[in-house]
Structure 1
Amino acid sequence: MKVLALKLDLKADDYRPFLPLLCRERANRIGDLRQPADRLRSVCGELLVRKTIADLLHIENQEIHFSTNQYGKPYLSFAPDFHFNISHSGCWVVGAFANVPVGIDVEQVQRTLDLAVAAMVLSPEEFVYYQQLEHEAAVDYFFRIWTLKESFVKAVGKGLSIEPSSLTLRTTGDGLLECLTDGRRSGGRFREYKPEPNYRIAVCALGETVLPPAPEYVTITYFEQLLV
């Protein structure tokens, strides 16, 4: 498994010269986003995926054509055993690449939190525990659970059809995390990272066979490397 992280140091409007490196459909969708910062993050995420695919599969950028499943998750029809996922928040864009279904999420930790939002993300069991914590600990707990669940949902590839509150994360006896879906155990391997104190990254790999180990650290990449 490969986990990459890119910290943005560009101005919001700097994305425009790089739109031709994307397929026309994707460039048009990005152009429809309201906020220039969202366009920049989306372009950089796309470039990160394309550069990594080109390097790992030894193909040219123009040979990369994405298909999507019924829930909108992209995949490579010509390389069914190659899985990838991206996420972005604040100044970080991250990507995960593996030979099994994989999901990744990055979140910028916000120190104010709405109870209604917490109730939508946390399972009843998790919500009870969350309410017992002091504010700072509660915020850290919420964002940890949120990123882990998002990585799992994205690995499954069914989008919003999975309610985060239907999932419960527990620590097993060996210190690993397991995900329960409506009480049923789901196989997966999780890994967490903190590129900065106010950011959290979680990666989830799924499969019935032996899962690839996630790297101990994310690999930091730079924008200039995506254009080589």
Structure 2
Amino acid sequence: MYQPDEFALTETGYRGPAPSWAPATPALWIVDTRQEGERAQRLAPGILDAEELERAGRLVVEADRLCYTASHVALRILLGARLGVAPDAVRLTRERCPSCGGPHGRPATDGGVHFSLSHTRGVALLAFADEPVGVDVERAPKARTVSEIGDQLHPAERRELADLPEEQRPAAFVRAWTRKEAYLKGKGIGLAGGLSHDHVGTGPRPQPGPAGWTVTDVAVPAGYAAAVAVRTAGQPPAHDDERRK
């Protein structure tokens, strides 16, 4: 399990180390968006671009607005530190989707750093690596949510959930969900890639694979679950017929 670094802002910005990592080993940062949200909001006009500021402004619920702002301010600050440029000079783009070719694949920057961002109310998680990487953090769901969407998982994962006492299913479900979404985000296809195709497991530790990827849980506060997936160094993207069924 990865232990992420904590990201904290000062009144004038972030003062800390730039992301660094070994080959195929992601660097991870966690942001307490409740604690950092107001500072991030004050810094945002000088860091975020017009599209990000507009999107944040459209969020009606303050907790959501602060979460979005804090996570994107942190992303630009950390990317800027890694690339050696000012946060507002970081150029964010989208790669083409490997499934349909549309302009909604992995987020990217022209500096060659692979990164991924996930946030849910109260917590944001960021990952940086020298290979494609995906990260996901989620709040623990209610039992009703598990019963409504648990059948979207891999058949083996559905059996694993069915074998558990009902009170243990939400934690097991969200472990599988975050592992799978991290992997699919790393591939650049998101949930459109299908949650039923690859077996990552619902247990305390992820199952090996999918082929060419390493999936690892991430330590986050109680009430949340998180995972990171990084492509094995030197491995080409897996084709659909190479994925675990």
Q: TM-score, normalised by structure 2?
A: 0.73
Per-residue deviation, 1:31: 1.7
Answer yes or no: is the 8 Å Cα contact 2:71–2:119 preserved in 1.
yes
Q: Distance in 1 between matches of 2:107 and 2:141?
A: 29
Unaligned ranges ≥5, structure 2: 1-25, 96-102, 236-245
2:74 corresponds to 1:43? no
Q: TM-score, normalised by structure 1?
A: 0.78
Task: Provide Cα deviations, 1:73-101, integer angstroms capped at 9, x if missing partner.
Answer: 3211x22x310111112321110000110
Give me the CA root mean square deviation. Answer: 2.5
2:149 corresponds to 1:117? yes
Q: Which residue number corresponds to residue 14 of structure 2?
A: none
Amino acid paired to 2:231: L
Q: How many aligned positions are there?
A: 199
Q: 1:41 to 1:4 in 2, by over 3 A?
A: same
Q: Distance in 2 between matches of 1:88 and 1:152?
A: 16
Answer yes or no: is the 8 Å Cα contact 1:87–1:105 preserved in 2.
yes
Amino acid paired to 2:216: R
Q: Which residue number corresponds to residue 57 of structure 2?
A: 31
Instruction: Report the structure, 1 or 2, having the larger strand content.
Output: 1
2:215 corresponds to 1:190? yes
2:98 corresponds to 1:73? no
Which of 80, 87, 97 is residue 128 of structure 2 equivalent to? 97
Task: Provide Cα deviations, 1:174-205, integer angstroms capped at 9, x if missing partner.
Answer: x86212xxxxxx31012212322322110000
Q: Which residue number corresponds to residue 137 of structure 1?
A: 168
Amino acid paired to 1:104: V
Q: Distance in 1 between matches of 2:225 and 2:213?
A: 19
Q: Distance in 2 between matches of 1:138 and 1:204?
A: 23
Unaligned ranges ≥5, structure 1: 180-185, 211-228
2:31 corresponds to 1:2? no
